[in-house]
Structures are given as C-alpha cells and as structure tokens.
Amino acid sequence: MRVLAALSGGVDSAVAAALAVEAGHEVVGVHMALSTSPQECRIGSRGCCSVEDAGDAARAAEHLGIPFYVWDLAEEFERTVIADFVDQYRRGATPNPCVRCNEFVKFRELALRAQVLGFDAVCTGHYARLVAGPHGPELHRGWDLLKDQSYVLAVMGGEQLSRVLLPLGEAPSKAWVRAEAARLGLGVESKPDSYDICFIPDGDTRGFLRARLGTAPGAVVTDDGTQVGTHQGYWNFTVGQRRGLALPDPAPDGRPRYVLRTDPAKNVVVVGPEEMLSVDRIDAREVVWLAPDDAADECADTGCGQVLAQVRAHGRALPVRRLTWEDAPCSAGDQGAAAGGLTVELEEPMRGVATGQSLVLYRDSRVLGQATITGAGRTP
C-alpha cells in the first residue's frame, strides 16, 4: 500500500512510520506544521509543533529513507481547533482540543489530502487497535491501557477506519516503543512525551484565555444564589474545579466547595459541596457512531457484553444501565454519521461531568461511538 505517515517529531509517530516501512508499505512522511510560531522552542515536555519537532521528524524520515514533506496547516488549526477552544469556553463549556484536532486536522484534513494524492492509508502513532470485524474494521482500545488513545480517535468516523494504519495499537508499553526507536536508530528514543495543550506550551490556560477573552468580573454563588465570592471571568472555571476559587470565607460546615457549573448569560460561577458533582445521567448530541451492527440500546441484559461510558481520555469507564436515542436510532446506515442525540443512565454516579466533553461508549474494548456532552444530572 501507499501510506502517508504523519510524523510529529515524537517517538510514537517515528516508530509507527518505521513499522509501516518494515511491513513493506511504500511510505511517505509528512510533518503537519500547526503552530503560527513554528520558530518557538519546546518548553521541556510541554507543547509540540516546534522547530525541534520539525527537525526530528525530518531526521527520522531521512534515516528511514522515505520522502518527507512539511504541510503548513496552521491556518486550519487556528480556525478549527484554537478558535473553537476559545469559543467553547466563552459558551461555558469545557472543550477537548485533542479530540477536535483529531477530527478536523489529523484525520479529516490529512486523510482528504492523502486520498487526493492517491495514498491508500494514513499512518499515525496513536495507541489504538483496528480489528477486522464482520461489518468492516472496528476501533478498539490499545493493548497498553495506560497509553490507550481510542477515546480521542472515536470522533474520526467509521468511513475513515478502512484508510488508517495504527501500528502501535498492539504495543505492550511505551518502554517497548522507546526500545524499538533505539533498535531502529531513529534518535528520538529519549525524547519526552508532550503533554498539556499543545498550543499553550507554558501551561497557563488562564493566561491564554485572558489574552483572547479579556476579563469580566462577576459573582461566585451557591446553588441557591447566595454570593460567596467574585471572579474575573467564568471561562476560567470548569466543573469539578476547586483550586483558584479564592473564596474569602469557608462554607458554614467547613467543607470545601467545588465548581458545579458556570452561567455565561449571568456571568456567574456556581459552587457547592463535592457530592453535588455526582451525576448518573448524561445527555449528548453530535453522535458519531462506529458500530453499525450494535445500536447499544440494550445493555447489561443482552449477554453481549456491558456497554461502558467514558468522559475523559484516561478516565474510568462506568457501566451503562440504559441508553436512549433521542432522535433517530442508530442503524446500519449511520456508521460515521451524526445520529441525533442520546441519553445514557449509569449504573453508578460519575463525578465532574462538564458540557463540551466527549462521551465515548465501549462494549468491552470496542469503541461503539462518540458524542458531545450537552448536559448531565441525577435520575429521579
């Protein structure tokens, strides 16, 4: 196959490209330049898309003997990821920019260009598995559950599964991947993993939002509307947050307060005790369904495996008691397409669920689908 390998400059993508070469594919490497300031250097293990990353990607391609190109996707990244990130916070939501980047840049844009150029597949260094199923490729968790990235890949859509290679899906550990990088002589085996939000390399999300949104002084209130403090912008807070509230007085019972929600229309941050963060019902829309053979509306009593719900990249997946389709139920024709809205009821409460987060449903290790959370609460 003719394979377009995305080379970020890190160890994972370099090893994935090398394994594709070893498998006999005709591989071409491409580095997606996403930063509007690519001349900036990395800050330790924070951020990516720096001048060092581009250089490391080029050296890995040269070592593998494959053609290498740099594609400037900074404009697309700014429009679809960064601008959306800011807008979601303005709306009082908590976005996941990694999900958005995978959806619009790393798969939609990259896959579209690869298809136009005549490539059969795109190769990335994500830790997730593609398993052949009776209805086509299925997306599953990677073997290394500590590194599993199926959560952020669920948004790619079923139509992309047949045009993707994920060579690290069966990697037993990150240590194994680093050992492979050393064996192959790629020169990146000791490079630290990037973390936090790549376009905020100093880790100061508040400072980034303040530069984009300014300040807007408002009230911090309890659930009954009693003011207990002030804030400089509701977008600085997300559900479950405790640090940074700077409340002048403790709660009457002395217990800590947490952010329960924000109200952009009133410019208030609502706080309360920890137990008010627990929900067992999650509403979501913009469904992307990857399992045309599994509508998932029957859960624990089907004998086909428990449906699990996960709302963070490495969060705990909890059993689903009931799943209800709010609009059109999923059918075989809905693979990879928006399938209306859904509501899941959990077997046990989940803490700190925020609007804007991704809800991903699994059956055993298989990804069934993904949706964007619009609300959460407690069932009567």
Give me the mean pLDDT over the 292-303 stretch: 63
Sheet holding 258-263, edge to edge: 227-231, 218-222, 268-272, 258-263
298 Cβ contact partners less than 8 Å away, ≥ 6 residues apart: none
pLDDT score at 40: 55
Please name the fold of domain 276-377.
Elongation Factor Tu (Ef-tu); domain 3 (2.40.30)
Average the pLDDT over 243-255 and give the result: 90
Residue 45 above 50 pLDDT?
Answer: no
Mean pLDDT across the chain, nearest whole number?
88
The phi and psi torsions of 219 (rounded to 5 degrees) equal: -100, 145
pLDDT at 338: 52
- Is the predicted pLDDT of residue 358 greater than 90, yes or no? yes
Per-residue model confidence (pLDDT) at position 195? 67
The arithmetic mean of pLDDT across residues 37-48, rounded, is 51
Per-residue confidence (pLDDT) for residue 43, from 0 to 100? 47
Q: To which H or E segment does residue 54 belong?
A: helix 51-64
Q: pLDDT tens-digit profile of 51-76?
A: 788 899 999 999 999 999 999 888 88
Q: Show me where the domains of the chain are located.
A: 2-126+166-184, 215-272, 276-377
Average pLDDT over residues 256-280: 95
* CATH pick for 215-272 out of 3.50.30.30, 2.30.30.280, 3.40.50.720, 3.40.1390.10: 2.30.30.280
Q: Annotate the chain with three-state secondary structure.
A: CEEEEECCCCHHHHHHHHHHHHCCCEEEEEEEECCCCCCCCCECCECCCCHHHHHHHHHHHHHHCCCEEEEECHHHHHHHHHHHHHHHHHCCCCCCHHHHHHHHHHHHHHHHHHHHCCCCEEECCCCEEEEEECCEEEEEECCCCCCCCHHHHHHHCHHHHHHEECHHHHCCCHHHHHHHHHHHCCCCCCCCCCECCCCCCCCCHHHHHHHHHCCCCEEEEECCCCEEEEECCHHHCCCCCCCCCCCCCCCCCCCCCEEEEEECCCCEEEEECHHHHEEEEEEEEEEEECCCCCCCCCCHHHCCCCEEEECCCCCCCEEEEEEEECCCCCCHHHECCECCCEEEEEEEEEECCCCCCEEEEEECCEEEEEEEEEEEECCC
- Residue 52, pLDDT score: 82
Structure tokens at 260: 């329960």
CA distances for 170 relative to 130, 158, 176, 247, angstroms: 10, 20, 11, 48
Q: Name the helix (H) or strand (E) containing 76.
A: helix 74-77
Q: Which of 101, 123, 299, 330 does the annotation list as catalytic?
A: 101
**Percent of the chain residues topping a pLDDT of 90:** 67
Give the model's pLDDT for residue 299: 52
Q: What is the pLDDT of residues 70-110, one digit of tens each?
A: 998 888 899 999 999 999 999 999 988 888 888 888 778 88
**Do the domains at 215-272 and 276-377 have one common CATH topology?**
no
What's residue 102's pLDDT?
81
**pLDDT of res. 334:** 44
Q: Which CATH topology does 2-126+166-184 take?
A: Rossmann fold (3.40.50)
pLDDT digit string, tens, across residues 131-187: 999 888 999 999 999 999 999 999 888 888 889 999 999 999 999 999 999 999 999
Confidence of residue 332 (pLDDT cuts 50, 70, 90): very low
The span from the CA of 63 to the CA of 263, in Å, is 53
Q: Are 171 and 141 in contact (CB under 8 A)?
A: no
Q: Which residue has the higher pLDDT, 194 or 370?
A: 370
Mean pLDDT computed over 319-342 = 67
Per-residue model confidence as pLDDT tens digits over 4-36: 999 999 999 999 999 999 999 999 999 998 876
Which pLDDT score is estimated for 343? 94
- Quote the pLDDT of residue 331: 43
Per-residue confidence band for 193, with pLDDT thresholds at 50, 70 and 90 = confident
Asked whether the predicted pLDDT for residue 347 surpasses 90, the reply is yes
Q: Residue 131, by phi and psi: left (phi above 0), alpha (psi -120 to 50) or beta? A: beta
The pLDDT, as a whole number, for residue 303 is 43
Active site residue 101: yes
- What is the rounded average pLDDT of the residues 112-122? 94
Q: Which of 48, 198, 299, 330 is catalytic?
A: 198
Give the pLDDT band of residue 305 (cuts 50, 70, 90).
low
Q: Give the per-residue pLDDT at 201.
A: 78
Catalytic, 198? Answer yes
Give, for 356, the enclosing helix (H) or strand (E): none
Three-state secondary structure of 115-168: HHCCCCEEECCCCEEEEEECCEEEEEECCCCCCCCHHHHHHHCHHHHHHEECHH
For residue 307, the SS3 value is strand
